[in-house]
């Protein structure tokens, strides 16, 4: 059975939801599922924008057939050819062999690499090219590295719809609710939108800034991303989040305490610090065990907060592996501009503090607090005093900036 939603009078969402996939890109947990969005425009010409993941192809084809209602499919615009959006190109071509595929030179090259053969029925567009589908005129705008180098976005100048590829997307299945004003985004979607952005596109902040700059020059009315809700109200809310994330500016004056603990003593120090911070009025505090929290969630929180406290045992004279994985991901994704607190633990040769501090020195604009805490197996009077001094320093920074 078809399952579609109307976006405007002549534009339909024909995508699909996926609750069967457990790991997006075989790495990111998606307990709320994911949607693959595709849109079909019924103008003098019929135009399909992107396809969906192979696992959702059957539903997708039923949706297209229903909306076309016997009309031919004239064009297929591929804004982004990553397989979660391009895997069904050949299936579309099999059913609609006269369709003309519109995309970038790089995308056509990469389609060939993946074996998505589109033949000669194609139009290769350049930055700023326009096309007329009848009532609707569109302009193609390149968006390299948001998320892959071949990516473009398509702006419908007639009704202000921006087909934004991966940009402005989110993990999470739609489950019927297509529009941002049909959900409580701040409560139910923001964390997954941030986790999606920071882990997948976070590394490419300057490229996202370039797209935001281009977006600032056009009058966008509706944002149609390839994942998650369609935005038709309060676009500034999401644009502002993207601006912060892509400039690596924290969203909140808040503290994340990430701990790596073998027998509970480093965990205990993390909890004591959280209480000391709250005693000082800093209540926007979150505590995470790096051993049991998927690193994609840690990354999302690290992008949200202003202060990160790293509390790690020493393991084989190194940083505990799960903590090191978190640090490597932060560095790989180019996170910067954070204040860092360091808590080390070691029963005979504590090293993790110095190593974590050096690691932060190799990252951009990470400010390591002078107040460091060193535990010999567990908190004692000396290390408890150091912990309180760290709480004082963080509270002074956060409360002082209020």
**Rounded CA gap, 374 and 363, in Å?**
22
Min separation Cβ 82 and ligand FEO, Å:
4
Distant-in-sequence, close-in-space partners of 97: CB < 8 Å, separation ≥ 6: none
For ligand FEO, which is the closer residue by CB, 208 or 313? 208
What stretches of 57-202 adopt beta strand conformation (E)? 75-77, 100-103, 122-124, 130-132, 137-142, 152-156, 161-163
**Rounded CA gap, 100 and 262, in Å?**
59
Min separation Cβ 358 and ligand FEO, Å:
34
Q: Where are the alpha helices (DSSP H) in 144-234?
A: 185-188, 190-200, 205-215
Which of these ranges, 78-86, 128-136, 257-265, 375-383, lies near ligand FEO under the rule CB under 6 A? 78-86
For ligand FEO, which is the closer residue by CB, 25 or 249? 25
Which of these ranges, 57-65, 76-84, 262-270, 391-399, lies near ligand FEO under the rule CB under 6 A? 76-84
Which of these ranges, 77-85, 128-136, 257-265, 369-377, lies near ligand FEO under the rule CB under 6 A? 77-85
Q: Binding ligand FEO by CB under 6 A: which of 5, 85, 307, 322?
A: 85
Which of these ranges, 79-87, 125-133, 246-254, 324-332, lies near ligand FEO under the rule CB under 6 A? 79-87
DSSP state, 118?
-
Min separation Cβ 140 and ligand FEO, Å:
18
**Rounded CA gap, 113 and 107, in Å?**
10
The two counts, helices (H) then strands (E), for the chain are 13, 23
**Is residue 82 close enough to count as binding ligand FEO by CB under 6 A?**
yes
Min separation Cβ 143 and ligand FEO, Å:
11
Min separation Cβ 166 and ligand FEO, Å:
4
Min separation Cβ 200 and ligand FEO, Å:
7
Contact (Cβ atoms closer than 8 angstroms) between residue 201 and residue 298: no
**Rounded CA gap, 306 and 365, in Å?**
12
For ligand FEO, which is the closer residue by CB, 196 or 259? 196
Q: What residues pair up with 100 in beta bridges, in sequence order?
A: 75
104-163 binders of ligand FEO (CB under 6 A): 147-148
Q: Binding ligand FEO by CB under 6 A: which of 50, 84, 192, 386?
A: 84
**For residue 90, which of 62, 59, 127, 52 has the smallest C-alpha distance?**
52
For ligand FEO, which is the closer residue by CB, 18 or 386? 18
For ligand FEO, which is the closer residue by CB, 13 or 315? 13
**Rounded CA gap, 287 and 261, in Å?**
12
**Rounded CA gap, 402 and 396, in Å?**
10
Which of these ranges, 80-88, 178-186, 274-282, 389-397, lies near ligand FEO under the rule CB under 6 A? 80-88
Binding mask 158-197 for ligand FEO (x = CB under 6 A): --------x-------------------------------
Burial readout 91-128 (b: 16 or more C-beta within 10 A, e: otherwise) = bbbeebeebbbbbbebbbebbeeeebebeeebeebeee
For ligand FEO, which is the closer residue by CB, 199 or 312? 199
Min separation Cβ 67 and ligand FEO, Å:
22
Which of these ranges, 81-89, 154-162, 173-181, 277-285, lies near ligand FEO under the rule CB under 6 A? 81-89
Q: Binding ligand FEO by CB under 6 A: which of 76, 125, 224, 226?
A: 226
Contact (Cβ atoms closer than 8 angstroms) between residue 204 and residue 145: yes
Min separation Cβ 103 and ligand FEO, Å:
14
- With DSSP H G I counted as helix, E B as strand and the rest as coil, what are the percentages for the chain, rounded to 5? 35, 25, 40
Contact residues: ligand FEO, CB under 6 A: 80, 82, 84-85, 147-148, 166, 226-227
């Amino acid at each position: 059975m078809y399952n579609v939603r109307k976006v405007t009078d002549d534009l339909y969402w024909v995508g699909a939801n996926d609750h069967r996939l457990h790991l997006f890109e075989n790495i990111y947990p998606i307990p709320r599922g994911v949607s693959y969005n595709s849109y079909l425009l019924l103008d003098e010409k019929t135009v399909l924008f992107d396809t969906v993941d192979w696992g959702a192809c059957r539903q997708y084809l039923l949706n297209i057939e229903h909306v076309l209602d016997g009309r031919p499919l004239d064009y297929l615009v591929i804004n982004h050819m990553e397989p979660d959006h391009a895997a069904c190109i050949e299936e579309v071509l099999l059913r609609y062999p006269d369709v003309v595929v519109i995309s970038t030179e790089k995308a056509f090259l990469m389609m060939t690499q993946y074996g998505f053969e589109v033949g000669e029925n194609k139009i290769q567009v350049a930055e700023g090219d326009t096309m007329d589908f009848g009532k609707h005129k569109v302009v193609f705008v390149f968006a390299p590295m948001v998320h892959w180098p071949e990516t473009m976005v398509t702006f419908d100048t007639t009704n202000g719809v921006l087909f934004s590829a991966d940009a402005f997307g989110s993990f999470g299945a739609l489950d019927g609710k297509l529009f941002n004003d049909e959900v409580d985004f701040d409560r139910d979607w923001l964390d997954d939108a941030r986790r999606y952005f920071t882990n997948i596109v976070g590394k490419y902040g300057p490229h996202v800034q370039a797209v935001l700059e281009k977006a600032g020059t056009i009058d966008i009315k509706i944002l149609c991303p390839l994942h998650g809700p369609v935005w038709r109200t309060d676009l500034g809310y999401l644009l502002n989040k993207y601006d912060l994330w892509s400039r690596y500016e924290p969203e909140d004056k808040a503290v994340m305490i990430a701990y790596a603990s073998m027998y509970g003593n480093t965990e205990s120090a993390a909890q004591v610090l959280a209480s000391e911070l709250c005693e000082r009025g800093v209540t926007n505090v979150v505590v995470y065990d790096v051993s049991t929290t998927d690193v994609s969630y840690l990354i999302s929180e690290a992008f949200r907060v202003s202060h990160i406290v790293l509390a790690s045992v020493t393991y084989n004279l190194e940083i505990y592996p799960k903590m090191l994985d978190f640090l490597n991901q932060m560095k790989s994704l180019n996170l910067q501009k954070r204040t860092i607190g360091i808590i080390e633990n070691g029963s005979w040769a504590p090293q993790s503090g110095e190593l974590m501090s050096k690691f932060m020195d190799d990252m951009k604009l990470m400010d390591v607090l002078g107040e460091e805490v060193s535990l010999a197996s567990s908190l004692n009077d000396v290390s408890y005093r150091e912990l309180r001094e760290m709480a004082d320093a963080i509270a002074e920074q956060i409360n002082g900036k209020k």
